[in-house]
A and B are shown apart, each in its own frame.
Chain A
């Protein structure tokens, strides 16, 4: 498939895989693709940061390679590792049949087939000019800051140096989406290499459109009721306001029950899909009592 030629074209392709991107997000993704720069996406939980990477992969018909960050993540888990048991097995087998060319044997031991590619190397290897891979570096703020420096090196030129094999260079830089929940400040050096995009909660019309797209079977009135309720919940000063992901879940739960609209009773029964703190639920139900969501 050809790569998109304009942000609008990319937006319509994302639309084709049920991800509705606005002007800003489409421009961001388009530039990430064109300039070969990682896209650094921040925003509240559940606004569609991870979904963006998935949708980009689908829209470009590219493989999605995901690196979930966590504390203690290191190069052996993110880049590559040697498959030691297989190497040992190979060595034993070679001994058994009596191979005595030690140098060749050693060379064989560090062959590509004994290398286990982890997400970063996978992305470098899988990305071609016709079909760049999409690499999702999820929740980079959870990794320790030493890891960032390492990531910076790989994202800088998309080459991986393996002492025993040599340098592996990406034929074409993969599209990289880096997400962060802002649990800590990410180094400026990493941000400087990236395009920065802040994803906000959607407005009402957009939320309706997204839910309708995700749950095609849901009643029209139900969808707009849920979107309106979610918009209101976000203004209610809750401990954890629902994101777009939660309102989709909520609408799905209500649609499963066969609801055609949102009333107090239905809301009380399904609120757990959208609001996940006891204190918040109590507040919401108290507020619904005197006036309802709409």
Chain B
């Protein structure tokens, strides 16, 4: 056993390099597990490692390939469903990164009063900002606190009115030797509904993706339960990346996770992937789902319409954010938007800070249409 130790630790290092956070605690568990098994049997080494070092289906694929590479033997596994491994150097579009300090843009120095500057910025199209304005907007976006409307839960807490809290009342009676004392009451608590954001990061949305993801980050900071996905050529879950406190760091982490910035989209397909993998299981159930996209769908829109109907049946409310909806002369004319509108509770604009603030207000209302 002790002779195997360097190999086990070496393998753990390989695994960490492959992106699986197999820390000392997990390695320790592996060594302990192998102590109960036969360390000379590849299958035992494989299974004990897999059971202790991995913690999600995504990590299993990395484990399998690392095991094959390190121990040479093909792991004792039948073929798994193909897992797409994506290794892409990610270039964040340059105009999406807020560089430049406020003040180094040529047009900012002209504006003296901060309040009025913010007021002007508030109505500027996010696609037409200078780097300095972008940084300013980012700060204002970080101050938003988007959250879903409240929903009643099964949890109860003590209250001055409401139903009788038998346990607490009787406990109080016991303390007084069984004399009926004050009646205690309890009532249902409420908690905000989960917010799920699906952000289109395809080419046609590139100018707005940064602002929308910052909005998403603000929502993540507000509630841990918030889930964020990007839709491009594939669906990517970035909730974990966005849960960091610092907006810039979170966005950099998220952009590293998203392999397909500014590519094309197949909205219907991505929605289906979301619903199959996450939505149906519970993430979208009873949630307020925000889809941020211009609704540009190439080709057949029947799948998009069908998936939106599915989403509508699962979610409490579906809000569609289109950056073009607030512009002059907008009409939902694209085939994609026409297909989704019957399943959307409310269509709003999202092209300026002002409209995103309105969106945050709207999300916490019980009925967004009102």
- Interface members, chain A 1-29 (any B CB < 8 Å): 7, 23-24, 27-28
Residue in A closest to B239 when the chains form the complex, CB atoms: A185
When distances are taken between beta carbons in the complex, the residues of chain A under 8 Å from B225 are: 184
A184 and B282: CB pair below 8 A?
yes
Across the interface, B177 reaches (CB within 8 A) one of A23, A34, A91, A145, namely: A91
Is A150 part of the binding interface, using a Cβ–Cβ cutoff of 8 Å? no
- Interface members, chain A 65-101 (any B CB < 8 Å): 70-72, 74, 76, 81-82, 84-85, 87-88, 91-92, 95
B281 and A71: CB pair below 8 A?
no
When distances are taken between beta carbons in the complex, the residues of chain B under 8 Å from A35 are: 29, 32-33, 36
B37 and A42: CB pair below 8 A?
no
When distances are taken between beta carbons in the complex, the residues of chain B under 8 Å from A85 are: 170
- Interface members, chain B 174-211 (any A CB < 8 Å): 174, 177-178
Alpha-carbon gap, A28 to B155, bound state (A): 35
B283 and A183: CB pair below 8 A?
yes
Across the interface, B155 reaches (CB within 8 A) one of A74, A81, A84, namely: A74
Is B167 part of the binding interface, using a Cβ–Cβ cutoff of 8 Å? yes
A24 and B174: CB pair below 8 A?
no
- Measured CB to CB, the closest approach of chain A to B33, in angstroms, equals 5
B224 and A23: CB pair below 8 A?
no
B198-241 vs A: 1/0 string, CB under 8 Å?
Answer: 00000000000000000000000000110000000000000110
- Measured CB to CB, the closest approach of chain B to A75, in angstroms, equals 12
Residue in A closest to B285 when the chains form the complex, CB atoms: A183
When distances are taken between beta carbons in the complex, the residues of chain B under 8 Å from A81 are: 167
Alpha-carbon gap, A81 to B171, bound state (A): 12
Alpha-carbon gap, A156 to B225, bound state (A): 25
CB-CB under 8 A for A27 and B170, given A71-B153, A72-B153:
no
Residue in A closest to B173 when the chains form the complex, CB atoms: A88
A183 and B282: CB pair below 8 A?
yes
B57 and A198: CB pair below 8 A?
yes
- Measured CB to CB, the closest approach of chain B to A46, in angstroms, equals 13
- Measured CB to CB, the closest approach of chain B to A20, in angstroms, equals 15
A28 and B174: CB pair below 8 A?
no
Alpha-carbon gap, A184 to B60, bound state (A): 18
Residue in B closest to A85 when the chains form the complex, CB atoms: B170
Classify chain B: how many residues form its interface, as a range. Answer: 35 or more
A198 and B281: CB pair below 8 A?
no
Is B139 part of the binding interface, using a Cβ–Cβ cutoff of 8 Å? no
A71 and B170: CB pair below 8 A?
no
The stretch that binds A, out of B4-12, B47-55, B248-256, is B47-55
A70 and B51: CB pair below 8 A?
no
When distances are taken between beta carbons in the complex, the residues of chain B under 8 Å from A197 are: 51
The stretch that binds B, out of A121-129, A167-175, A187-195, is A187-195
A27 and B174: CB pair below 8 A?
no
When distances are taken between beta carbons in the complex, the residues of chain B under 8 Å from A157 are: none
A72 and B155: CB pair below 8 A?
yes
B282 and A23: CB pair below 8 A?
no
Residue in A closest to B76 when the chains form the complex, CB atoms: A23
B120-161 vs A: 1/0 string, CB under 8 Å?
Answer: 000000000000000000000000000000000111100000
B281 and A182: CB pair below 8 A?
yes
Residue in B closest to A182 when the chains form the complex, CB atoms: B281
Across the interface, A23 reaches (CB within 8 A) one of B33, B47, B80, B167, namely: B47
Is A37 part of the binding interface, using a Cβ–Cβ cutoff of 8 Å? yes
B78 and A27: CB pair below 8 A?
no
Which of A24, A31, A92, A182 is the most central at the interface, judged by chain B CB atoms within 10 Å of its CB?
A31
Size of the chain A interface, CB-CB below 8 angstroms: 47
- Interface members, chain A 210-240 (any B CB < 8 Å): 239-240
B57 and A109: CB pair below 8 A?
no
A181 and B281: CB pair below 8 A?
yes
Alpha-carbon gap, A191 to B59, bound state (A): 13
B47 and A203: CB pair below 8 A?
no
Alpha-carbon gap, A195 to B28, bound state (A): 12
Which of A27, A142, A144, A197 is the most central at the interface, judged by chain B CB atoms within 10 Å of its CB?
A27
Across the interface, A84 reaches (CB within 8 A) one of B51, B170, B285, namely: B170
Is A263 part of the binding interface, using a Cβ–Cβ cutoff of 8 Å? no
B33 and A31: CB pair below 8 A?
yes
B178 and A91: CB pair below 8 A?
yes
When distances are taken between beta carbons in the complex, the residues of chain B under 8 Å from A27 are: 37, 43-44, 47-48, 51
When distances are taken between beta carbons in the complex, the residues of chain A under 8 Å from B60 are: 198
Is A293 part of the binding interface, using a Cβ–Cβ cutoff of 8 Å? no
A34 and B36: CB pair below 8 A?
yes
Residue in B closest to A43 when the chains form the complex, CB atoms: B57
CB-CB under 8 A for A192 and B26, given A87-B170, A88-B174, A183-B281:
yes
When distances are taken between beta carbons in the complex, the residues of chain B under 8 Å from A198 are: 57, 60
Given contacts A23-B76, A24-B50, A34-B36, 13 further A-B contacts (CB under 8 A): A27-B48, A28-B47, A31-B36, A37-B29, A40-B55, A70-B154, A71-B155, A76-B167, A109-B174, A184-B283, A191-B55, A192-B25, A192-B55
* Those 7 A-B pairs whose CB atoms lie nearest each other, nearest first: A183-B282, A72-B154, A84-B170, A27-B47, A72-B155, A195-B51, A191-B55
Residues on A facing B (Cβ under 8 Å): 7, 23-24, 27-28, 30-31, 34-35, 37, 40, 42, 70-72, 74, 76, 81-82, 84-85, 87-88, 91-92, 95, 109, 141-142, 144-145, 181-185, 188, 191-192, 195-198, 200, 203, 239-240
25 contacts between A and B (CB under 8 A): A7-B37, A24-B51, A27-B44, A27-B48, A28-B51, A72-B153, A72-B155, A82-B167, A84-B167, A84-B174, A88-B173, A88-B174, A95-B178, A141-B282, A142-B282, A184-B225, A184-B282, A185-B240, A188-B55, A191-B55, A192-B25, A195-B33, A196-B54, A203-B78, A239-B276
